[in-house]
Structure formats: structure tokens, C-alpha cells
Amino acid sequence: MPRYRTIRHTADKAIDAWGRSLPELFENSAYGTFSLIADINRLKPEIKKEVKLPNNKDIPLMLVEWLSELLYIFDTEKILFCRFKVNSLDERGIDSVCEGVKVRPDLPWRGSYVKAVTYHNLKVERTEKGYRAKIFFDV
Amino acid sequence: MASAWSGPIEKIDDYRWLIPRRYKPGMRTDGLIFAREKMLAKIKEDMAPEQVANVAFLPGIVGYSMAMPDIHWGYGFPIGGVAAFDIREGVISPGGVGYDINCGVRILRTNLTLEEIKPYLPSLLDEIFHNVPSGVGSEGKLRLSNEELRQVMIQGARWAVRKGYGGEKDLEHTEENGEMEGADPQKVSPRAMERGRSQLGTLGSGNHFLEIQAVSEIYDRKSAQVMGIDKEGQITVMIHTGSRGFGHQICDEYVKKLLQSAQHYNIHLPDRQLACAPFSSPEGKAYFSAMVCAANYAWANRQIITHWVREAFEKVFKKSAEELGLELIYDVAHNIAKVEEHTINGKKLKVVVHRKGATRAFAPEHPLIPRDYREIGQPVIVPGDMGRASYLLVGTERAMEETFGSTCHGAGRLMSRAQASRSVRGQEVKRRMEEQGILVKAASFATLTEEIPEAYKDVSEVVATCDGAGISKKVAKLRPLAVIKG
């Protein structure tokens, strides 16, 4: 099972992400999101960051909020994330540890700055093997 | 994924196509797309027309749910979308403005000619590139305190002018004088302020650019002259950017809030990204006040960048900006919601006009356009892709009657960013552009491949459609000489 793939969209960018569990789906979605910005496979993490959010009783919205939080940290603390670990995702909310590197010009940038994670056609579905999410971005 | 749209579309005339409201139960009005027949096949290749139909679901919509000829698939509202809602019964939607609140474009004139600038172009481009921060993750040179940031939200470009970035004349030639009324910094979260703090005075990345151009054709000499464009070969400078992370964060937070409001007010949404609230509700008012803060931030941003561009010209030509005639022709917003008075069926009505990838195009004599342009109508600036052309137009009476005084905003994308990047390498783009005599400097080669000219519709087609439909009038065509991409 691939972690994610990009979907064709005229103006913006979109991904399909998969996971055997919801935490894995979240991790792979984040992996797909940051892969739009840079070739994060080539990065060795230097900084670790704990990211926690309260439960909002809606898994798709939770996914958008968590990804938006990671983009917010990217923009304000200048950390480009490359490794994602969701430790728990339950009634208490989401508890994750994300690792990355400090933003600098010589990173393997792909040129797209992801402005936001949108709610457009947002979907999280159960599949035979686990879960699948469809996410659209504003770039 | 990008499956073709197969809904009903009826020809009204050579420039107008109707999506009848019977298409989907729940549509409160018809959809109207401005396009020529040959553009229509492309438009129907993705789901943009569906988005025109979806906007027609929203309560209080007045007139058609419209799309300009540069229509393309967005999220929620289509790009190129124009929709107006009654301020008493209608809604406001952050998705109808977009994440880059007051993304917009301004154009400066100069006294310089093509021959005069040519030898200096490489050094000028380097100097501007050095002076104006651009690219993913780039930081601005300004560090604002909370109080200063609040002043930016309220005063917009006026704040910048007070700090020495440009002059009073710049403000007169900016939509809303660069200082839109109705800002309330209390409605902006500390998180948005944090995100916006270091980005004032940055160009950004993606489709944002700074371009040195030459006038290549003049269609309406009188209007051109009023704007300070006298001859072919005259040099202009175009700046395209918006409210950066500050606007993105405001939009993000309010889409989330207004999703709950839509539920609270029992508004049925065909797509979550159409999240909205009644304009008169506390939530609707809060979003509007926060949106104005971001709009003002964007005007301050373009004003500051303008000043740095002038400094770069001064350094390279060893003349003052005044001697070089570097004056602002006009500045327009193309992602914004505005409260405006329009005449509908003979009656004056206050509406909140959403322009998402659309430009205001007010007619001659309109009180909201600068005095020196009253006679010709509001200048409209339509940037094209980096290889072909951009246009200057003016607003018309027909736009007032039909489109709430709106027209197109650019070329409109044709190819997805991923498709574009696969088709060519960054170095190759730069070389091809240079063969055409266009210098390019980019913070990242990757952006260049996503922004290749072929990824866009032909802006000349888009502009000809607006001109043919009568919703704006062509004044001059500009061709790129040197481009900075973020």
C-alpha cells in the first residue's frame, strides 16, 4: 500500500492518502502534505516537536486541523517536518510527535508553498485494508 | 479525478452561457459563465461549472452565480467567481474570498523606454531580487510589534506611507485608498498575528511575481494617456502578491468557525468549503472585520514592496524615482468581499460582492474611483503568464449592470501544477524564456516549472472575451522583459 499519491487538480494540489489505521492515515497524510513542499525523504530530522490537539468529534475535520497545525508551525517556527508519529488518536484528541529540520534556502524545495488545507470535497473513508483520505490544498 | 463536467449549459450569446437552476434542486438562481464557445470545452474538462452551480445554493444570492472567462477549478467557489448577497438576508463566505485575502496586483509606469532600460535589465533584476524577499519560507526585513501590526490592519497602505514607504499619490491610486474601512483587530487571533508578523514586505511564492514590462500595443490612446501611458515601448512594473500567511490563517480559522455557523443557521452546504454565515450575524460580521484587516495588510505589503522597487531603480539608474516617473497607475484586489450599492431591477440594493479571482471594474463617473480616472473608468490590471502578456483595461457601465462591476483577474490555469512540473525542468524554462528575450530570476527552479506559460490559458483570449462581452474595455497590452518569481 502506498502512503499517498497526488491527484490532478487544475489550480491547486490534492492527495489521496492511505493507512492501515487512523493514526497511520494521519501520518501518511502529513507525509504527503510536506512532500508537496519539499523532497522530505532526503532530510535527516534535527528537531522534535510534540503536537497535541483536543478532540472535535469529527475525524475529517480533525485531520484538517492537525495538518493545518503542522503548516502553522512550519510558517511560524520555520520547521520543515519530515517524520510523523501519531501516538494516540482517541476521545482525548490527538497526540503526536513530529520531527523536522530548520528552514533554510538549501533544502530540497519543490517550489510549492502550501497555504492551507481546505475542506473542499474532504473525505475519510474505510477501505478493506484500513482508511483512505482525500485532501485538497490551496497552494 | 478531474472528470469532465456534463451538466446542462445553454448559450445566451457569443459570450454568455447559462447553467439553469433546474440543474440541481437547491440552486436559488441560475449560473452564468462568460466565455467564448471555443473556451467552453476546456472549462467543462473539470468541475469548475459544478462549483458555479454550488454557489447558487447559498442564501440571499442576488442575480446570477457568475464566473469570468478565466474560470477554473478552485475549492468551494470556482476561481473567477463573482457572487453578490443581500446584506440583510444573504451570507458571507470566507471560501468566496479565498485563503490569500486581497491577493492583488498593481502597476507602476515609468518615463523609461525599452532602449533605455535594456542595458540595465540584468543589474536591475538582481537589485530588485536582492531588495524584495521572495520564495518559500522567506522572511521579511521588518519586525513588527503587536501595536504596529494592529495599525497595519486598520490603516493598510497608509501605515506604510506614514513609515516612509511611498507617498499620498500612491494611496489615491489604490482601490479603497489601500485603507479599507471596517477593520477590527480584535477579530484577528494571536495565531494569525504570529503568522503574519514576519511576512510583511515579502513577495511569497507560487504564482506571485514581480515583472518589468514594455507596452507592446495601445488600443485606447486617450485612456492610456490618462494613466500615463504615452507610447509603445514604455516601461511598466507589475507587482502581484497578497496578505501572505496572515490572510491564510484568518481564512483558515474562519472557515472552521463558519462551518459551525452554517449548521447553527440551518444553511445547507453542497461543499464544506462553502462554509458561511448570515452577513448580519455576529459570526458573519466578525469574519468581515478580520478579512478587512488582512486586506489592509496586503495593501501595506504591496506598498512596501513598491518602495523597495523604486529604491532599486534609483540605485541602478542613479536618478530619483520622481525623475524616472515611477508612479503608481493603480492597485486592484482580486480576492475580496466588498459591501457595495448596486442597482438591481431598477432598485438600489446593498450587497456583499464576493470576488474570488475576479477584479472590480467600476464604470466612468463612479464615486469610488480616483478623480483623475473618473472620465475613463476604473483601471483594471490583468496579469498573464510569465511568457506572454498582461493587460490594462477599464471598467464599463455594462459591468455595473451585469456583473456587479466585475471582470476577469488573469489568465486562469489550464494545466495542473504537477503536470506542468513533469513536462519541463527549471533550468530549461529559464533558458527558453531567455531565448524569447525575457530574463528570469526565481527563488526556486521548482516554482518556475509549475508556472510555465503553457500551464495557463491564453490571457489574450480571456481579455478579448471580457472586452467582447462589454464588461471591461482593453486599453493596452504589456509584454514581459524581466520576471522575478518567488
Task: Give the A-side interface with B, CB within 8 Å.
Answer: 6-14, 37, 61, 65, 68, 72, 74-76, 78, 80, 103, 105, 109-113, 115-122, 136, 138-139
Angstrom CA distances, B346 to A54, B59, B82, B109, B343, stand at 52, 22, 21, 39, 6
| Residue B168 CB burial class (10 angstroms; 0-12, 13-18, ≥19) | exposed
Whether the CB-CB separation of B76 and B95 falls below 8 Å is answered with yes
| B264: number of Cβ within 10 Å | 12
Nearest-CA distance B365 → chain A (Å): 36
The b/e string for A110-131 (b: 16+ C-beta within 10 A; e otherwise) is bbbbbbbbbbbbbebeeeeeeb
A134 is written with which cell numbers? Answer: 482525500
pLDDT per residue over A119-131, tens digit each?
998 999 999 999 9
β-bridge mates for residue B72, sequence order: B79
Nearest-CA distance B112 → chain A (Å): 33
Chain-centre distance of CA B390, in angstroms? 13
Those residues of chain B that have pLDDT short of 70 are 1-2
B175 is written with which cell numbers? Answer: 482601490
Residue position matching grid coordinates 485612456: B223
Show the 3-state SS of B348-369.
EEEEEEEEECCEECCCCCCCCC
pLDDT per residue over A50-97, tens digit each?
999 998 889 999 999 999 999 999 999 999 999 999 999 998 999 999
| pLDDT score recorded for residue B286 | 98
| pLDDT score recorded for residue B338 | 98
Whether the CB-CB separation of B420 and B206 falls below 8 Å is answered with no
Nearest-CA distance A124 → chain B (Å): 14
Whether the CB-CB separation of B125 and B212 falls below 8 Å is answered with yes
Domains within chain A, CATH numbers bracketed:
4-138 (3.55.10.10)
Q: What is the DSSP letter of A38?
A: B
Residues in chain A closer than 8 A to B194 (CB atoms)? 76
Nearest partner of A52 among A36, A37, A70, judged by Cα: A70
Phi, psi of B392 (to 5 degrees): -115, 130
- Residue B409 bears catalytic tag: yes
β-bridge mates for residue B77, sequence order: B75
| B37: number of Cβ within 10 Å | 10
| pLDDT score recorded for residue B2 | 53
The span from the CA of B244 to the CA of B438, in Å, is 27
Whether the CB-CB separation of A36 and A12 falls below 8 Å is answered with no
Residues in chain A closer than 8 A to B272 (CB atoms)? 119-120, 122
B463 is written with which cell numbers? Answer: 481579455
Q: DSSP string spanning A62-101?
A: HHHHHHHHHHHHHHHH-EEEEEEEEEEEETTEEEEEEEEE
| pLDDT score recorded for residue A12 | 72
| A137: number of Cβ within 10 Å | 24
Domain B10-414+456-485 CATH superfamily: tRNA-splicing ligase RtcB (3.90.1860.10)
Residue position matching grid coordinates 475613463: B376
The span from the CA of B212 to the CA of B122, in Å, is 11
Task: Identify the three-state secondary structure at position A104.
Answer: coil
Whether the CB-CB separation of B175 and B358 falls below 8 Å is answered with no
| pLDDT score recorded for residue B1 | 46
Q: Where exactly are the structural domains of chain B?
A: 10-414+456-485
The span from the CA of B337 to the CA of B354, in Å, is 4
Q: Which residue of B253, B415, B416, B425 is the best one to mutate when testing the A interface, meaning the one whose CB has the most A CBs within 10 A? A: B416
